[in-house]
Chain A
Amino acid sequence: MASQIFEELFDSKARVKILKFFFRNETGYFDLPTIAKRVQERGPVVKKELVRLLKIGFIQKRNRPSI
């Protein structure tokens, strides 16, 4: 139920799952295919959300994975 509330509030199921994914893996850095696989969404959808989250500074990117 609660997750449905978030889906409505944030307007996107994928975005909710991506947000949760990052909070559950706070110190990790992951590439696009990994994130898409872990949240069970298609690559382009995830990419779109990542670009948005980058823009507002919620996440950051680098070219080195988590250790």
Chain B
Amino acid sequence: MKKKIKKKSKIKKRKINKKSRKGRNRRVVRKIKRVAKGGGGRFYYGLNPKFEFSNELKNLMLTPPPASFNRMAKRISALGRIKVALVSGVFLNKENVADLMIVGDDVDRRKFKNFLKSLEAEIGTQIIFAIMDKEEFQYRRAMFDRFVRLMLEGPHEVLIDRIGL
């Protein structure tokens, strides 16, 4: 009696497996058909230029949020022995060579990568950044390096300053 039941269940299992395999095949075929048709069967989303409140909403959403800089400064501080951090570019809706400059020693690259990812998600775009250690920064500053000069003299907001810029 027991044996019979066992046999039955085995058959069932095999049937189910076969079924799902068939289903998968069908899905694959459907996908291939879609791709072959062109367009990849995929949709691409973009702003609708006819949307009435686009400009108003954009002004509202992209105004620089000064209070959030505080939180950012704290997060940057945790990345290593940070001496200087300043923002520009997208953070202030101004044009500059970079959006974020960090000067510090022993900056944890992995932590920084994660921080950058979440920051980019929040801001909604890629961030152009520069990291250098204190020595490099002071050398570049002393020789009036173009990049450092543009960051310090252009529109910017200082988040962290532990060397008295």
Contacts and interface: CB of A to CB of B under 8 A. Distances in A.
B124 A23 contact: yes
B15 to A, nearest CB: 31
Given A3-B65, A3-B122, A63-B39, A27 B46 contact: yes
Interface residues of B, number: 34
Contacts of B6: none
A59 B45 contact: yes
A65 B41 CA distance: 12
Contacts of B66: 2
Given A38-B121, A58-B51, A59-B47, A3 B68 contact: yes
A26 B42 CA distance: 20
Interface residues of A, number: 38
A32 B41 CA distance: 12
Given A25-B124, A38-B120, A39-B121, A6 B47 contact: no
B63 A2 contact: yes
Residue of B44, B45, B65 with most chain A CB atoms under a 10 A cut-off: B45
Residue of B46, B62, B66 with most chain A CB atoms under a 10 A cut-off: B46
A28 to B, nearest CB: 6
Contact of B44 (A1, A39, A58, A63): A63
Contacts of B54: 58
A31 B155 CA distance: 34
Nearest to A2: B65
Interface of B: 38-48, 50-51, 54, 57-58, 61-63, 65-68, 70-71, 90, 117-118, 120-125
